[in-house]
């Protein structure tokens, strides 16, 4: 799964925001991840970004962690 589908589902983002989210996804995904894992990763990246995390390094670090409950 591509993060692009999740980005489109989540709302309107500028091209630069889409580029940032795509870069973070490419850096965070791992070889062998299942489609479900990649979908969850994409969702975490977008959720963290929408929560105000806009620094690329911070977004990458936080998005690699599972969401808290």
Each residue's pLDDT tens digit, 28-49: 999 998 999 999 999 899 999 9
- 3 and 45 Cβ atoms separated by less than 8 Å: yes
Instruction: Supply the pLDDT for residue 48.
Output: 93
What's this model's pTM, rounded to 2 decimal places? Answer: 0.82
Burial of 31 (0-12, 13-18, 19+ CB in 10 A): exposed
Query: CA of 13: how far to CAs of 4, 16, 43, in Å?
Result: 11, 8, 14
Number of helices and strands (H, E) in the chain?
4, 0
Q: Quick one: what percent of the chain has pLDDT higher than 90?
A: 58
């Amino acid at each position: 799964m591509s993060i692009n589908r999740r980005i489109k589902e989540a709302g309107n983002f500028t091209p630069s925001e889409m580029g940032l989210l795509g870069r973070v996804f490419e850096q965070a995904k791992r070889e062998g991840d299942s489609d479900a894992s990649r979908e969850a990763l994409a969702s975490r990246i977008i959720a963290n970004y929408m929560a105000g995390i806009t620094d690329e390094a911070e977004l990458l670090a936080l998005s690699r962690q599972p969401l808290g409950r």
